[in-house]
């Protein structure tokens, strides 16, 4: 039995897109060639990998078992090709898949990527943004080459290194009753209406750890901008990275509440799969990201709270 790389690429494309025609288009194949590759793969493995429903193909339990292994094989072949291209020459060409949690992906990496591409215009970079939990899963499946996240990581297959630091702040509308308080207690916060990020986000995890007890949010939203708008409208208070609210604080659309009893500092971490071959392009991006990142000086101003 000989499984080809093309068969695995077809299998992965269909698994991601769930449609034969669209998967064929992404691989620049005809639908018949794509269908034949999948059919041959299933015959060689003596199993069905997808449940067919209308025009959709949905991974079954056998397919879900094969997917991470197929992704790993494809990634290793790509790494081998990149390695041979690098051998004997200093080049940063290639395609790097970067993953990031929302705070880092929206507020830090775009500037870093722009700087990197000015230095190395021959490189191609793609950025995927999702919450920390989702980013870890994509890294484990080799869907991204590296990931930048906030929050604690406990995975044997992932190497973690400190990349930067951040500060969370409690924010409110300028009209919120808490703004007029000379002192704010933990009890005041406990009984207030909270608007928080979704479970699985690094911001939510760090806030819960700092507060020391579970808060049931009045609203649970998946993006910073939605949270800021809800807080600005007076629907409640929230906890976000200081990076994400800098403009609103400057324009006085939002207010930072003084909460010195909460330790709202956190680390930004750089994640790599322990089996990931570090190409010249990957090493160079890591190097540049550490130099250019503005978050490395976050705690040098002596801010508290």
Indicate the domain borders of the chain: 5-83, 95-298
Model pLDDT for residues 248-273, shown as the tens digit of each residue: 999 999 999 999 899 898 889 999 99
Q: Is the dihedral of CA 150, 152, 156, 160 positive or negative?
A: positive
Q: What is the pTM for the complete model shown?
A: 0.66
Distance CA 11, CA 71 (A): 10
Helix axes 280-292, 109-119, angle to 10 degrees: 120
Structure confidence at residue 227 (pLDDT): 94
Residue 302, pLDDT > 80, answer: no
Fold observed for domain 5-83: Arc Repressor Mutant, subunit A (1.10.10)
- The count of other CB atoms within 10 Å of the CB of residue 84 is 9
CATH architecture of the domain with residue range 95-298: 3-Layer(aba) Sandwich (3.40)
Model pLDDT for residues 160-212, shown as the tens digit of each residue: 999 988 899 999 999 999 998 888 988 999 889 999 988 878 888 889 888 98
Distance CA 242, CA 229 (A): 16
| Strand bridging mode 255-257 / 265-273 | unpaired
- The answer to whether 43 touches 5, Cβ cutoff 8 Å, is no
């Amino acid at each position: 039995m000989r499984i080809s790389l093309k068969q695995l690429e077809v299998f992965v494309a269909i698994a991601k897109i769930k449609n034969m025609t669209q998967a064929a288009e992404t691989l620049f194949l005809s639908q018949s060639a794509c269908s034949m590759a999948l059919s041959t793969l299933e015959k060689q493995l003596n199993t069905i990998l997808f449940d067919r429903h209308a025009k959709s193909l949905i991974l079954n339990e056998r397919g879900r078992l094969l997917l991470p292994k197929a992704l790993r094989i494809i990634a290793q072949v790509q790494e081998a090709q990149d390695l041979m291209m690098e051998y004997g020459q200093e080049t940063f060409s290639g395609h790097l898949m970067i993953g990031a949690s929302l705070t880092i992906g929206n507020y830090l990496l775009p500037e870093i990527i722009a700087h990197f591409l000015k230095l190395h215009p021959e490189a191609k970079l793609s950025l995927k943004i999702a919450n920390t939990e989702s980013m870890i899963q994509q890294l484990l499946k080799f869907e991204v080459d590296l990931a930048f996240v906030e929050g604690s990581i406990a995975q044997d297959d992932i190497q973690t290194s400190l990349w930067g630091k951040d500060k969370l702040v409690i924010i409110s509308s300028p009209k919120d009753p808490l703004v007029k308080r000379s002192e704010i207690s933990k009890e005041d916060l406990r009984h207030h209406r909270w608007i928080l990020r979704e479970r699985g986000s690094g911001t939510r995890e760090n806030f819960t750890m700092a507060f020391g007890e579970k808060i049931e949010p009045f609203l649970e939203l998946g993006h910073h901008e939605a949270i800021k708008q809800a807080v600005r409208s007076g629907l409640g208070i929230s906890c976000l990275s200081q990076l994400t609210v800098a403009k609103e604080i400057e324009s006085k659309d939002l207010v930072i509440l003084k909460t010195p009893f909460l330790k709202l500092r956190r680390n930004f971490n750089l994640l790599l799969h322990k089996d990931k071959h570090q190409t010249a392009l990957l090493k160079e991006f890591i190097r540049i990201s550490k130099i250019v990142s503005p978050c490395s000086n976050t705690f040098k101003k002596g801010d508290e709270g």
